[in-house]
Structure 1
Amino acid sequence: MNNALSQLKDIHLPPAVDWWPPAPGWWLLALLVLAAVALLVWFVRRRIKRVDLYQVSLQELDEIRARYAEDPDAQRLAADLSRLLRRVAITLRPEAEVAGLTGKEWLAWLDAQVDGSEFSDGAGRFLEEGAYRPGGELQDAQALLSVVENWLKKVTREASHA
């Protein structure tokens, strides 16, 4: 019996498991974490852009309002408001949808965004030709500014919550 025990070899342990390459589950987890981080960054940037659009558009409207108070030029007011509305619209919607609209189609599109008719039938009608008609008579500038302000608030708020 002594002879059989002397023929036994010592136990050899396998080498330690390396940390590289990780198991497939770790690769999958890393991909999921990267995708979640990328989605979070996209969402936060989109949210910041929309909030900034709300603040910037209303700030620019205030500047237009102040410029009109100093020099009540209805033609310049209509041109400034039209530019502001167009830039906000192109920021929120595909350019191809918005850029080519003019006249009544443009006013109808503006109305459709807020489910109203203030541009087609109300004070906003002045934007259709006011920027192109020298000495155009604007009946109520405050009503026009109010219509534009309400439109900006509604579409930029909705965009920031989307």
Structure 2
Amino acid sequence: MGDGLVLRDIHLSSAPPWWPPAPGWWLLAAAILLVLAALVAWRLLRARRRRRLLALFDAELDAAANAAGAVAAMSALLRRAARRRHPSADRLQGAAWLELLDAGRDAPRFAGARGVLLLEGPFQRDADAAAVADLRHAVRERFLEWMEARR
């Protein structure tokens, strides 16, 4: 029985090195980087579009000669933005127009004094500067919501 056959323990191969990773990990890393780059590009484009919309809004209102002109410019900008979502929005008048402005909101922003100022402000000789500034803030928010929304 002892014919010279020497038995040895089984030796396991060593674990594969962690670097360089397998090709699948490289593909996964490239895909993740591509998605991140696309996300950053999309956010930058969206921010640039928002800045351009705000510049347009502010330029239109700054060009107005008085408070009544500013309210008229706000109304025109809102109607232009509303046509993107509701093609017949430029034909709405009075309460129907104000209802469209507040559609989809939890709390109405154009009911009451703001709505009256928006409807009648362009035809008034003098408008309260504080009320126009308050209206400007509400109109600017709604303008951005409608202009940034997908069709």
Q: If the length of structure 1 is used for normalisation, what is the TM-score?
A: 0.52
**1:122: which partner in 2?**
113
Pairwise CA distance, 1:157: 8.0
Q: 2:117 & 2:71 partners in 1: Cα distance? A: 7
Equivalent residue for 2:46? 46
Residues 30-41 of structure 1 aligned to structure 2 (within 5 Å) = 30-41=30-41
Residue among 88, 91, 104 paired with 1:100: 88
Residues 88-119 of structure 1, C-alpha deviations (whole Å, 9 max, x = no match): x44xxx923x44332223213334659344x3
- Deviations along 1:102-148, one digit per CA (max 9) or x if unpaired, are 2223213334659344x3321532544777xxxx4456264663243
Q: Counterpart of 1:149?
A: 136
1:47 partner letter? A
How many residues are aligned here?
121
Tell me the distance in 2 between the aligned counterparts of 1:68 and 1:143. Answer: 13
Change (3 A) 1:80 1:156: closer
Q: Distance in 2 between matches of 1:79 and 1:124?
A: 13
Distance across 1 between alignment mates of 2:25 and 2:145 = 41
Matched letter for residue 107 of structure 2: D
Aligned equivalent of 2:75, options 82, 86, 96:
82
2:61·2:70 contact (CA, 8 Å) conserved in 1? no
SS in 2 for 1:45: helix
Structure 2: distance between partners of 1:95 and 1:153: 16
1:50: Cα distance to partner?
Answer: 1.7
SS of structure 1 residue aligned to 2:66: helix
Q: Give me the identity figure in percent.
A: 28
* CA RMSD in angstroms, aligned pairs only: 3.7
* Distance verdict in 2 for CA 1:51–1:124, change over 3 Å: same
- What secondary structure does 1:115 align onto? coil
Q: Is the 8 A contact 1:79 1:130 kept in 2?
A: yes
Spell out, residue by residue over 1:5-63, the C-alpha distance to the aligned partner (whole angstroms, 9 max, x if none): xxxxxxxxxxxxxxxxx823322221221111011100111122223322331232111
Q: Which residue of 1 aligns with 2:19?
A: none
Could you tell me how far apart the structure 2 residues matched to 1:37 and 1:110 are?
36
- In the alignment, structure 2 segments of 5+ residues that lack a partner are 1-21, 147-151
Question: CA 1:138–1:63 in 2, change beyond 3 Å: closer, same or farther?
Answer: same
CA distance in 1, matches of 2:139, 2:124: 24
1:57–1:84 Cα contact (<8 Å) kept: yes
Gaps of 5+ in 1: 1-21
